[in-house]
Amino acid sequence: MAEGSKGTNYARLALGAGLLAAAAIGVAAFVPRRKLAFVTEPLAGLAKLPVAAAMTAWAMGLWHDATAPQAPVFDDLRPFDEF
């Protein structure tokens, strides 16, 4: 059964993306612009650090691995001497 859980689970990926989008829309709709600017001002300085570039590169590497083409998986347990 563990073999079936390997690989990308697109349902969980879509659910996570939907939750992030709902949170972003909720913040944009219900938080006043001045308060949001006051809270996010310190975070703007963090985006200029090299750590932010490294984290972005790491996340893009994960995305590349998750969306890379994969060979088909044959788990029917037949011997391969019939070819």
Q: What is the residue-wise DSSP string for 22-56?
A: HHHHHHHHHS-HHHHHHHHHHHHHHTTSHHHHHHH
DSSP 76: S
Residue 73 above 80 pLDDT?
Answer: no
Residue 48 tokens read as 């200029």
Per-residue pLDDT tens for 30-70? Answer: 989 898 888 888 888 888 889 989 999 999 999 998 888 88
Residue 21 above 60 pLDDT?
Answer: yes
Looking at residue 1, what is its pLDDT?
A: 45
Average pLDDT, the chain: 83
Which of 57, 32, 21, 51 has the alpha carbon at shortest distance from 43? 51
Residue 3 above 60 pLDDT?
Answer: no
Residue 73 · residue 8 · CB < 8 Å: no
pTM of the predicted protein model: 0.44
